[in-house]
């Protein structure tokens, strides 16, 4: 049997779309009743909810706020011109474009000739480079917004919170008052719509939201903090969050990561290292924590407190700070001897003991040794950018008055927390670097890469890899160890369900109830069909009274595209629909069955010569349909089908 669902284009007329939207709204009014908030539950009219989107790294448009004449190019930069991302100007006037993108590496100020600022509104995060060709290639949240529109969500119910993703967290507040404005956004949404907000954060956006929660503690009286969160935030969906950092950040800092842009790796490194946010995504150990440097009282007084960075004994008993292998293996000339490394701690002595005079030596560094600055001190004499990195690391992270972001995150005090990420894609987890003989920024080259692939470690060169691979791999960008840290937010007993991502009749659904979990990774004893992509749900609604925690793992969902995944958007919609229904007998939406929710989910079953899923879909030709699958549409009564998910 074949189907043409992937080539299907919706041609439904505006009247028919409006009819179905009104039917779904009517069903909500008839079945949902009034809006009420219980302990961690939402009952009533979903029209009172707001959705606030916090995008990830490089996922907000930046626009010029200067007039810049570009010599040897017909294209100049004028106020409000698109900078990130305008591929035309990037190709024709790269030097001018870089002036508008680069920041001062020490104080995070703009280039004297050009400054850029983040755009505002939903258009700032839907497509980075709008256009017939570039638009789909740079699409981020566009499909997400289209889903909201198709399900009848009002325009003022979806709010974007774009930010200048080049800045460190403290500079976001110092220069742009970002967190103050974000607080106002929540308060305005509550006043405008009468209900709390749902936070959707992708990638670095989750780390931004974490910093906001800590910043908020210093702005609100302690006794009012939890109440403010309960009033303004109903649920937090962390999608692809690098909770313990990303190893790809190391590649970007040492050799450059172009992210597909038509620039050299050296140029990409120069740009990336000028951003204060580059350190925000560094990998760090789950065993090390830091106390807040300043304790601000609600009365307005500020006193300096301890800024201790302490690690558990497990950090020194484990080899790789909890990660699957050493993240950096670097070859350094040894002509200056051991005295060239005055700042390297005793862990390196084993490396030096085998060092031969005059020959390069290879040093290995774990996540802790990267995030605490040990690595950058070790290469300070061989990399001119290390001093800048150490300065930013201390100023913007280790000494941050609100939070040291390079520390593990405990469960946020939100009523409902959903942690969602992709698994089992090939993900880079370690690198081998060597000197290139060229000046900065091209002074390091990658000689080998270590990948995690579905529970195993392999190297690009085929060499044997030492390490402790996890039960799964990451999402192509963030390692599994970092993504799955949120499993520590689950309680001692977890319900696990594994179901296909596509529509299914429930025959391939597996369930394990009350699985014991002790602050470590929990792996289900379940089977997999090799041709099926699954979602594995880990759910806990009992360990913290009035709060729910869930972790969703999506097979083969890549880091960037997960926010465009139809399966994810369907599950989000069904979970919210479940929560607002007054008669929901369970804490989470049922996984027993998944049927089509949109016309795009209906397709023609050539084997049975009818539309698939006849209880949901019917053949209904509309002028302009060019194949049978296009004429398969949801039945008019499909709004009632949502009641199956209560």
Residues involved in catalysis: 203, 475, 518
**Looking at 375-455, which runs of residues are DSSP E strands?**
416-423, 427-435, 444-453
CA distance 85 to 645: 41
- At residue 548's C-alpha, the angle toward residues 545 and 552, to 5°, is 155
1, 607 Cβ separation under 8 angstroms: yes
CA distance 422 to 446: 26
Give Cβ neighbours of residue 308 (< 8 Å, ≥ 6 apart).
290, 291
Dig out the tokens for 428 from the structure. Answer: 């880079």
What are residue 446's DSSP bridge partners?
433
517, 490 Cβ separation under 8 angstroms: yes
153-183 burial: b if 16+ Cβ within 10 Å, else e: beeebbbbbbbbbbbbbbbbbeeeebbeebb
CA distance 190 to 195: 5
Nearest to 526 by CA among 497, 557, 483: 497
414, 200 Cβ separation under 8 angstroms: no
**DSSP designation for 248:** H
Helix H or strand E encompassing 183: helix 178-193
CA 50 to chain centre: 20
Helix H or strand E encompassing 579: helix 566-580
Grouping H, G, I as helix, E, B as strand and the rest as coil, residue 555 is strand
Grouping H, G, I as helix, E, B as strand and the rest as coil, residue 134 is helix
What are residue 555's DSSP bridge partners?
423
Dig out the tokens for 423 from the structure. Answer: 């698994």
526, 555 Cβ separation under 8 angstroms: no
322-352 burial: b if 16+ Cβ within 10 Å, else e: bbbbbbbbbbbebeeeeebbeebeeebeebe
């Amino acid at each position: 049997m074949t189907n043409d669902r992937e080539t299907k284009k919706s041609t439904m007329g505006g009247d028919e779309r409006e009819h179905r939207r009104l039917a779904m709204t009517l069903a909500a009014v008839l079945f949902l009743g009034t809006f009420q908030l219980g302990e961690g539950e939402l009952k009533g009219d979903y029209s009172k909810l707001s959705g606030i989107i916090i995008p990830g790294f490089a996922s907000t448009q930046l626009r010029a706020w200067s007039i810049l004449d570009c010599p040897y190019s017909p294209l100049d930069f004028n106020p409000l011109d698109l900078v990130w991302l305008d591929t035309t100007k990037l190709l024709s006037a790269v030097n001018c474009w870089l002036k508008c993108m680069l920041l001062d590496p020490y104080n995070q100020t703009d280039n004297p000739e050009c400054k850029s600022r983040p755009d505002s509104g939903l258009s700032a995060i839907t497509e980075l480079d709008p256009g017939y060709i570039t638009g789909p290639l740079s699409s981020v949240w566009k499909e997400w917004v289209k889903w909201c529109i198709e399900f009848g969500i009002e325009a003022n119910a979806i709010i974007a919170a774009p930010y200048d993703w080049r800045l460190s967290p403290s500079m976001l507040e110092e220069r742009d008052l970002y967190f103050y404005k974000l607080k106002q956004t929540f308060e305005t949404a509550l006043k405008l719509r009468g209900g709390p907000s749902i936070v959707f954060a992708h990638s670095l956006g989750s780390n931004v939201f974490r910093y906001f929660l800590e910043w908020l503690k210093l702005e609100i009286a302690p006794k009012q903090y939890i109440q403010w969160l309960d009033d303004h935030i109903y649920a937090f969906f962390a999608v692809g969050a690098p909770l313990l950092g990303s190893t790809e950040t190391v590649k970007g800092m040492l050799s450059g990561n172009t992210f597909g842009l038509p620039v050299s790796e050296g140029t990409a490194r120069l740009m990336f290292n000028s951003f204060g946010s580059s350190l925000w995504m560094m990998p760090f150990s789950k065993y090390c924590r830091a106390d807040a440097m300043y304790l601000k009282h609600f009365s307005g007084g500020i006193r300096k407190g301890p800024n201790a960075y302490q690690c558990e004994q497990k950090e020194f008993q484990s080899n790789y700070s909890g990660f699957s292998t050493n993240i950096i293996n670097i070859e350094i000339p040894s002509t200056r001897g051991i005295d060239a490394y005055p700042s390297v701690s005793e862990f390196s002595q084993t490396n030096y003991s085998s060092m031969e005079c005059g020959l390069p030596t290879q040093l290995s560094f774990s996540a802790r040794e990267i995030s605490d600055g040990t690595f950058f001190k070790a290469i300070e004499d061989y990399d001119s950018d290390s001093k800048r990195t150490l300065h930013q690391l201390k100023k913007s992270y280790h000494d941050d008055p609100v939070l040291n972001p390079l520390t593990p995150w405990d469960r946020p005090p939100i009523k409902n927390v959903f942690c969602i990420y992709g698994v089992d894609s090939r993900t880079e987890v370690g690198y081998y670097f060597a000197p290139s003989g060229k000046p900065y920024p091209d002074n390091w080259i990658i000689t080998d890469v270590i990948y995690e692939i579905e529970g195993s470690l392999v190297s690009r060169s085929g060499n044997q890899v030492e390490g402790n691979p996890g039960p799964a791999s990451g999402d192509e960008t963030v390692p599994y160890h970092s993504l799955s840290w949120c499993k520590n937010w689950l309680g001692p007993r977890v319900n696990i369900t594994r179901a296909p991502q596509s529509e299914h009749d429930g025959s391939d659904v597996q369930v394990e109830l009350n699985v014991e979990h002790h602050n470590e990774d929990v792996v289900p004893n379940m089977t997999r069909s090799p041709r099926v992509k699954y979602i594995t749900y880990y759910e806990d609604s009992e360990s913290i009274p009035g709060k729910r925690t869930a972790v969703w793992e999506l097979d083969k969902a890549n880091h960037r595209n997960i926010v465009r995944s139809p399966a994810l958007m369907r599950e989000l919609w069904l979970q919210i629909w479940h929560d607002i229904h007054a008669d929901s007998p369970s804490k989470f939406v049922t996984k027993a069955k998944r049927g089509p929710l949109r016309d795009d989910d209906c397709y023609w079953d050539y084997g049975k010569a009818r539309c698939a899923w006849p209880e949901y879909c019917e053949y209904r030709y509309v002028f302009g349909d060019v194949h049978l699958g296009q004429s398969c549409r949801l039945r008019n009564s499909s709004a009632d089908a949502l009641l199956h998910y209560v």
